[in-house]
Structure 1
């Protein structure tokens, strides 16, 4: 596995690193194809917002330059970019002279079944709820324990993803995906100001849909609305779009809007 720390080939990280101790940092999971990071501009925008909110003193031009060089070496696969606040003394207070650590890990692209995209997937209804923290909502920060607990709820390969709700029971996202509903021609996705991850593929789909003149709604989604949906699909930056075929007692067809968006986005991951 290809591994860099601060622009150099390395694997060892200090036991005093705040990313390890507190989850004090951010990450991006980036599809790399033909030596190029896909959706780079959108990853950069989310990273900029995370760096601003966490007050991480890091040169993002340097980070991007390292990512481009790393991707050229990786060729095809997945680059996981992590920024931690670096080493620190015991205690929560961040040090004023923190030296942000820049980590890049390369791995092969995940071998998702083709049928996930073509035929659709079944969702597992997770019991784990997402806590509300507006200061962190939308960010891809290093504390993913809610997702770890949710993913541990099922082992049956019949379920490709899990549905996650907030503490009030509203639909938010998948364990590693964002979720969309289609109802009466409207494209609906959850509002993420309290919790959840603002995915880069979600942002791309919202922009493409608006460019097509489709009605796009970002709002709270109550659990009961699943029964009223005409189509449901998932998205992330590695696999694009998966239609959702069913969950518990619910079933949906692979609809025309899902197929249309799949066609528009396929070149982002494969070209």
Structure 2
């Protein structure tokens, strides 16, 4: 597997790395098409914001250059970018000055069934709840244990994704996707000020929908509202948009706004 550590081909990492010891870092999952990383500026902007919140120094021009070079070498696939605070001694105290470590890993694009995009997916109602922690809300930090536990809740082939709520019972997102619903022509997605990951595809679709004159709302979503939605869809930066067709005994149609956003996402990922 193609992998770089701090710009050099490598497959080994120091056991002193704080990303391993404490989840002290951030990551981005970037689709690559024809040697070009898609939505790169949005990925870098989220990474930069995360570094500000976690107080990790980062040189974005260096990161951009390495991602571009790595993507050219990969050609087609997915790049996982991991930025850790670097090595440290035992204990939570941060070594000063920090020397961040940039890890790039390559993989093939997932071979999801075509039916997921064409007919929609059935959602699993996850019991695992997302903790409300505003300090880390929106970030794609390295601690994904809530998602690991949620994904372990189902093993059948009937469910392609799960719905995650926060500890107050609000609908937040999928296990590895952001969630949108449509009600009376309005595109609605959850407020991620308390928890959840601010996905780059979510941000791009909100911007493009607003530019097309589609009414958009970012706000709290109740479980009852989700079930009453006219359309429900999921998105991420690798597969684009999937319609959601069912949750337990409830069914949703695949609607026109879902298809419109699906076409926008497909164009973004194929460029």
TM-score, structure 1 normalization: 0.99
Per mean C-alpha deviation after superposition, the further-off stretch among 55-64 and 115-124 is: 55-64
Distance 2:23 2:270 in 1: 32
The answer as to whether partners of 1:226 and 1:250 remain within 8 angstroms in 2 is: no
The answer as to whether partners of 2:161 and 2:175 remain within 8 angstroms in 1 is: yes
The answer to whether 1:194 aligns with 2:194 is yes
Tell me the SS of whatever aligns to 1:127.
Answer: coil
Tell me the SS of whatever aligns to 2:165.
Answer: strand
The answer to whether 1:248 aligns with 2:248 is yes
The answer to whether 1:17 aligns with 2:17 is yes
Q: Which residue number corresponds to residue 29 of structure 1?
A: 29
Q: Which residue number corresponds to residue 262 of structure 1?
A: 262
Alignment root-mean-square deviation, CA: 0.6
Unaligned residue ranges in structure 1 (runs of 5+):
none
Tell me the SS of whatever aligns to 1:112.
Answer: coil
Tell me the SS of whatever aligns to 2:65.
Answer: helix
Tell me the SS of whatever aligns to 1:238.
Answer: coil
Tell me the SS of whatever aligns to 1:188.
Answer: strand
Q: Which residue number corresponds to residue 182 of structure 1?
A: 182
Distance 1:187 1:270 in 2: 24
Distance 1:133 1:88 in 2: 25
Q: Deviations over 1:4-38 (max 9, x none)?
A: 00000001111011000000000000000000000
Q: Deviations over 1:60-91 (max 9, x none)?
A: 11011000000000000000000001110111
Distance 2:154 2:108 in 1: 24
Q: Which residue number corresponds to residue 122 of structure 1?
A: 122
Distance 1:150 1:68 in 2: 33
Tell me the SS of whatever aligns to 1:73.
Answer: helix
Q: Which residue number corresponds to residue 38 of structure 1?
A: 38
Q: Deviations over 1:220-263 (max 9, x none)?
A: 10111122100000000000000000001210000011011112
The answer as to whether partners of 2:48 and 2:58 remain within 8 angstroms in 1 is: no
Q: Which runs of 4+ in 1 moved over 6 A?
A: none
The answer to whether 1:206 aligns with 2:206 is yes
